[in-house]
Structure 1
Amino acid sequence: MTDLEYLDRAERLLMAVESHCDRINEETDCDLDTQRSGGVVTITFADRSQIIINLQKPLHEVWMAARSGGYHYRLEGERWVDTKGGLEFFAALSRDASAQAGQPLHFAPLP
């Protein structure tokens, strides 16, 4: 994968995260504060816990830090997959965001 391909795919992942946070805020009583600075998206929950997603351009990875731990994702085909546990990025984000919000939240790639 070239650097440009990585940046395109990683940017789409960050846009999907931001889009789903906006949808969650509109459709639920969950109050997610989402901030973006370059290749970093920070989601802050009502209890002040955070999930931080950032691009690791030299490695062509996306990293996520949540209350449950830190994870590294690489693109495999069409999916971002954890380099150690094999869990898909949006499944892991849904799991961790749900735990930190105290209610079920769903994240998925943009169509």
Structure 2
Amino acid sequence: MSKLKLLIAFAAGYVAGAAAGRQRYEQIKANARRVAENPRVQSAAQRASDTVAEKAPVVAAAVRDGAVSAAGTVSEKVSEKVGSGSTDATSEEAQPPAPPTAPPIS
């Protein structure tokens, strides 16, 4: 009988908690909608959107220039590493490693 009482109490608590949770969710949703519809919030959001639209090309150009510069630096470093060895084609540094060989099939 004790387990049945515990199960009933748990079920009642769950139902009450779920209803209270739903009510709180609806309150939060209503408050968020009220804030989002506030003219001051709308104005601030529009200003932020305008600023992003204005600054995006500048930021994109800076990122592009940085990427080009980094690519140039990497290219120079690779050229230095590859070109630092002997120009002889038989140089061990200039040769790529040999591919692994498969064992013979018996």
Q: Smaller-chain TM-score range?
A: under 0.3
Structure 1 length normalisation: TM-score? Answer: 0.24
Does 1 or 2 have the higher relative contact order (CA < 8 Å, sep 6+)?
A: 1
Bigger proportion of residues as helix = 2
Structure 2 length normalisation: TM-score? Answer: 0.25
